[in-house]
Amino acid sequence: MLQLQAIRANQEEITEALQKRNIDAAPLLENVLRLDEKRRATQTQLDNTLAESNTLSKEIGVLFKSGKAQEANALKEKTGQLKEDSKKLGETLQAVAEELQGLLYQIPNVPHPSVPMGNTDEDNEEIFKEGEIPVLNTDALPHWELAKKYDIIDFELGVKVTGAGFPVYKGKGAKLQRALISYFLDKNTDAGYTEIQVPHLINETSGYGTGQLPDKEGQMYHIGTDDLYLIPTAEVPVTNLFRDEILMQNDFPKCFTAYTPCFRREAGSYGAHVRGLNRLHQFDKVEIVRVEHPSTSYEALDGMVEHVKNILRELKLPYRVLRLCGGDLGFTAALTYDFEVFSAAQDRWLEISSVSNFETYQANRLKLRYKDESGKSQLAHTLNGSALALPRVLAAILENCQTKNGIQIPEVLVPYCGFNVID
């Protein structure tokens, strides 16, 4: 969430920057400032009314002690009116504050200056590419056919138990999943991230804290009886660990990694491009989350990008890195790099990671602050990334590593899964 003082001081600059997202934010920002002015004016009225009421109450006490009951009672009538006025002003203040908060929730984060202009994912900027794209035999199969051939993933069983988008992993397929999770966690902890296990359900406050609410409530599974949400990513519970926290400068950086299942409704997703593992309602992911001092957050972002690159190099998967354009940038992100692996059997790129810097946007919602050198509270920066999401990584391994004699397992994973081929 943008800070009010920043909107007051930089209204034109923010309006111009948000044009990269292809939105005209001017009317919304004008309404925010109008409501902010009304809120501050109402607060001043309320403070003055309460101060006057307190002053009169003291005078009434003095008058009663002096035996001037008639004058005291006359003032009591006035304090009664002041109390009624303060009650109404308090109600008005609360209503204005709630309306103002609702408008602030509608404003996305301001894109970093390096974010390119663009409307869709076709306008994203490729900044890096590495790895040799394999040439497969003419009889090569997509991963959903390989899964059936080697009996390692059963999509039909998942439909039977739950519905489409909930696959059942079997035998070597299940072991390969577990191997990937362990490998990703080990890579992350070796890089200095502390492994934690977090709840897979969050409350509404947590959803607002990281920006899933009110922007993405239609994409999350909601448990109405308990008013809880299934997590769409470990980013949400991990980052919310720092809600309402005040850090010291020597606490930075805070680095965590967590494995969780992730749940996304993915409403409206149909077609061949979402077949098999390409788009699921439940999938496994290993996440990395950082809380950084503002002066080091972009250096940390670059480090996260290099970390994911190293993992993909070890897996020997061809990949590329994209800088997302304004039209494709997530609501809460200031800058995002997407990683995509090439799926040889599908002949297309598959997104497998997003690494983002949210600057102070999430921290403002979370009230996540630190004490600077002068002892003043400042907002921290939050970052997160997938390291990595499993489904499309697994799809790329199955498709790119298929041979006539089976699917060759990347060498780095063999110690984790205990076999080197699926046949």
Return binding residues for ATP: 264-266, 351-354
**Residue 27 backbone phi and psi in degrees, to 5:** -60, -40
Binding-site positions for L-serine read 233, 264, 287, 384
Q: Which two tokens stand for residue 378?
A: 């400042």
Residue 345, both tokens: 């059997």
Q: Comparing C-alpha atoms, which of 297, 323, 319 is closest to residue 384?
A: 297
3-state SS, residue 93: helix
Hey, what amino acid is at 326?
Answer: G
According to DSSP, the β-strands at 246-248 and 369-371 are: parallel
Q: How many CA atoms lie within 13 A of 140 on its CB side?
A: 20
Please name the residues in contact with 349: beta carbons below 8 A apart, sequence gap of 6 or more.
Answer: 320, 340, 341, 342, 343
If one counts every other C-beta atom within 10 angstroms of the C-beta of residue 409, the result is: 21
* Cα-trace Rg, the chain: 27
Q: For residue 301, give Cα distances in angstroms to 214, 278, 287.
A: 26, 26, 14
Q: What residues form DSSP beta bridges with 381?
A: 292
Whole-angstrom distance, CA of residue 400 vs CA of residue 405: 14
Residues annotated as binding site? 233, 264-266, 287, 351-354, 384
The rounded distance, in Å, linking the Cα atoms of 186 and 301 is 20
- Which segments of 66-133 does DSSP mark as H helices, in order? 69-105
CA–CA gap between residue 176 and residue 410 (Å, rounded): 11
Query: What is the total residue count of the chain?
Result: 423
User: Amino acid letter at 125?
Assistant: E
Strands 369-371 and 153-154: unpaired
With a CB cutoff of 8 Å and minimum separation 6, the contacts of 145 are: none
